Structure 1
Amino acid sequence: MTRWRRRLRLHGSCQDRGGLELFYAGTVLIAFLIIGLVVDGGLALNRMSEADYLAQEATRAGAQQIDPGQAITGEALVVDPDAAQAAARAFLRREGVDGDVAVAEDGQSLTVTVHATYQPYFASLIGVGEVPLTGHGAATLLHRPGG
């Protein structure tokens, strides 16, 4: 037996074979999960921003539906509630999203809430399912005839 083998056998260092490989495998797995969660988080934020954008655009489409009867006579500048809701819902339908549209009693403001979801890529590996997201948009008519 060579001198080095005898020394290794006496110190018992041959029993530690493969321990470092498990550490590296665990580290790589954890790093993969963290990177995946960061990617999923960024994509979910992007989807939420898109939902807000769509809600704001639907609100804008609805707020353009001014009631001509009151605007022409100079009584008030208000939205036509039925036309505003129809225009906002038509926009949401064209974009393929679901949402709620509400017009205030006084006809001066309109709000739209968009309901969307995000299906994570990496987080689904650890059991996270579909994530619900909500976007909001609001418009208020500021100009009034004579004011």
Structure 2
Amino acid sequence: MAIFVAICAAFLVLVIALVVDAGGRLRVAERTDAYAQEAARVGGQQLDEAAVLRGEGYRVKEQYVKDAADSYLALYHLKAAAVAFSPDGTAVTVTVEADYKPALLGELGKQKVTGKGSATLVHGVEKAETD
């Protein structure tokens, strides 16, 4: 009977560790998505003013977007893994990678967590856009 209790107790501790570490990973994934979304928003504000003045329309300046996204992410000790642009230069997508080290499982559950966020440059908004 004592062996059965010991095995059950060890299994219970393992299950609790898995649940706690899975919850921690979900928190890191959510946070990474939020950072990527905010970095894309910050980057999406980097307007190519010269193109606007030349009458070429509204678009972002790619190098400024990358610099702005990295500056924002540096506040959280992160860096953009990738910054992508739409062909017309009006949408920005930022991908961020963060390390997750589990609290209870240690090196067994260590992994990279990827977050992705995007922003679209809009101007002259007069009403809400509905889907």
Task: Please give the TM-score of this superposition, normalised by the length of structure 1.
Answer: 0.76
Counterpart position of 1:120: 102
Pick aligned residue for 2:86 from 104, 107, 126: 104
Aligned pair count? 124
Higher helix share: 1
Tell me, which stretches of 5 or more residues in structure 1 are unaligned?
Answer: 1-19
Question: Displacement of 1:143 after TM fit?
Answer: 3.9
Question: Displacement of 1:71 after TM fit?
Answer: 2.9
1:68-79 map, 5 Å: 68-72=49-53, 74-79=55-60
Percent identity (aligned)? 36
Cα deviation code 1:100-146 (max 9, x no counterpart): 2223332111111001111112223xx6141111000111224479x
> Max radius of gyration: which structure?
1
Q: Which has the higher contact order (CA 8 A, sep 6+)?
A: 2
Which range moved further: 68-77 or 92-101?
68-77
Tell me, in whole angstroms, the C-alpha distance in 2 between the residues paired with 1:38 and 1:74: 56
Tell me, which stretches of 5 or more residues in structure 2 are unaligned?
Answer: 126-131
Counterpart position of 1:132: 112
Counterpart position of 2:28: 47
Tell me, in whole angstroms, the C-alpha distance in 2 between the residues paired with 1:29 and 1:56: 41
Counterpart of 1:133 in 2: which secondary structure?
strand
